[in-house]
Chains A and B, each alone.
Chain A
Amino acid sequence: MSDPLFEYLCRLGDNTLVLGHRVSEWCGVAPVIEEDIALANTALDLIGQTQLWLGLAGEVEGKGRDADKLAYHRDVWDFRNLLLCEQPNGDFGQTMMRQFLFDSWHVMHLKGLMASSNDQIAAIAEKSVKEVTYHVERSTDTVIGLGDGTEESHSRMQNGLNKLYPFVGEMFLSDDVDTAMADAGIAPDPASHRAGYDAHLDDVLTEATLTKPEDDFAHKGGKSGTRHTEHLGHMLTQMQWLQRAYPDATW
Chain B
Amino acid sequence: MYAQMIKSTGQGVKSLDEMDPDERAFQERINAGGKIEPKDWMPDGYRKNLIRQIGQHAHSEIVGQLPEGNWITRAPTLERKAILLAKVQDEAGHGLYLYCAAETLGVTRDDLTRDLLSGKMKYSSIFNYPTLTWADMGAVGWLVDGAAIMNQVPLQRTSYGPYARAMVRICKEESFHQRQGFDIMMKMANGTEAQRKMAQDALNRFWYPSLMMFGPSDKESVHSAQSMAWKIKMNTNDELRQKFVDQTVPQAEYLGLTVPDEHLKWNEETGHYDFSEPDWEEFFDVLKGNGPCNTERLEARNKAWDEGRWVREGLLANAQKKQAAKLAAE
Contacts and interface: CB of A to CB of B under 8 A. Distances in A.
A24 interface: yes
Contact of A250 (B62, B89, B191, B321): B191
Which bucket holds chain A's interface residue count? Answer: 35 or more
A12 interface: no
B301 to A, nearest CB: 8
A91 B319 CA distance: 21
B35 interface: no
11 contacts: A25-B72, A33-B95, A37-B89, A50-B78, A67-B78, A146-B311, A148-B318, A149-B317, A153-B317, A246-B195, A249-B192
Q: Which of A30, A36, A71 is most buried by chain B, counting CB atoms within 10 A of its CB?
A: A36
B317 A243 contact: no
B148 to A, nearest CB: 17
Interface in B232-262: none
B194 interface: yes
Given A17-B78, A34-B96, 16 more contacts: A24-B73, A24-B81, A28-B304, A31-B304, A31-B308, A71-B78, A72-B77, A146-B311, A149-B313, A149-B317, A150-B313, A153-B313, A238-B73, A242-B76, A242-B134, A251-B187
Q: Which of A71, A144, A242 is most buried by chain B, counting CB atoms within 10 A of its CB?
A: A242
Contact of A27 (B79, B89, B95, B319): B89
A21 B318 CA distance: 29
Interface of A: 17, 21, 24-25, 27-37, 40-41, 43-44, 47-48, 50-51, 54, 67-68, 71-72, 91-93, 142, 144-146, 148-150, 152-154, 156, 238-239, 241-243, 246, 248-251
Given A40-B88, A249-B194, A150 B317 contact: yes
Contacts of A28: 65-66, 69, 88, 92, 300, 304
Contacts of B48: none
Interface of B: 62, 65-66, 69, 72-82, 85-86, 88-89, 92-93, 95-96, 99, 134, 184, 187, 191-192, 194-195, 300, 303-304, 307-319, 321
Contacts of A27: 65, 69, 72, 85, 88-89
Contacts of A40: 85-86, 88-89, 92
A47 B76 contact: no
A44 B86 contact: yes
Nearest to A156: B310
Contacts of B321: 148
Contacts of A37: 89, 92-93, 96
Nearest to A238: B73
A124 to B, nearest CB: 15
B191 A249 contact: yes
A248 B191 CA distance: 9
Nearest to A148: B318
Contacts of A92: 307-308, 311
A91 B89 contact: no
A33 B88 contact: no
Contacts of B134: 242, 251
B74 A246 contact: no
Contacts of A24: 72-73, 81, 85
B74 A152 contact: no
A24 B71 CA distance: 11
B73 A25 contact: yes
Contacts of A153: 310-311, 313-315, 317-318
Nearest to B66: A28
B311 A93 contact: yes
A17 B81 CA distance: 11
A156 B311 CA distance: 10
A156 B307 CA distance: 12
